[in-house]
Structure 1
Amino acid sequence: MPKVGVEQSLSNISEALRQKGFDVIDLRKEADAKDCDCCVVSGLDSNVMGMHEVVTAGSVIEANGLSADEVCQQVEEKTSHQ
């Protein structure tokens, strides 16, 4: 089962992914994303400095402006979960 990390502020997306059978992890700190196949972030905490540390090899989906269904569709495509 694909493990998807979702920012805590995106509870509607977490619930939609759980209903579709994904193992959803609440992202409270960077280390929570370590073993995730995919992460969903709000996009509100933009990295202005351009500095980053790679925490996960999985895909990152920015949910800003997307519905829960659209995010679920992207997660399914990225994880090949049908």
Structure 2
Amino acid sequence: MAKIGVEQGLTNVQQALNEKGYDVVPLHNESDASGCDCCVVSGMDSNVMGMQTISIEGPVIEASGRSADEVCQEIEHKLNL
């Protein structure tokens, strides 16, 4: 199953992904994202200066304002599962 990095504080998303059998990795810093197929972030730390550091090649999904099920559905869609 896919390895999904989940930002701290998104416990409901972590639990939903675990229940679906995903390998869930907590994201404490950018280096934790290496090796992940996809990452889920809260969106609270939006980049206001327009600079980006790409840590993974896969999709990054913003969970702000979405349910855990909606996030899981987008992950499955993005990863074509």
TM-score category (smaller protein): over 0.9
Q: Which runs of 4+ in 1 moved over 4 A?
A: none
Identity percentage of aligned residues = 59
- RMSD after superposition: 0.7
* Aligned pairs (5 A) from 1:1-82: 1-81=1-81
Question: Which residue identity does 2:19 align to in structure 1?
Answer: Q
CA deviations on 1:28-78 (whole Å, 9 max, x unpaired) are 010011111000000000100111111100100000010000000001111
Question: Which residue identity does 1:3 align to in structure 2?
Answer: K
Consecutive unaligned residues of structure 1, counting only runs of 5 or more, are none
| Alignment TM-score, normalising by the size of structure 2 | 0.96
Consecutive unaligned residues of structure 2, counting only runs of 5 or more, are none
Distance 2:20 2:52 in 1: 31
The number of equivalent residue pairs is 81
| Alignment TM-score, normalising by the size of structure 1 | 0.95
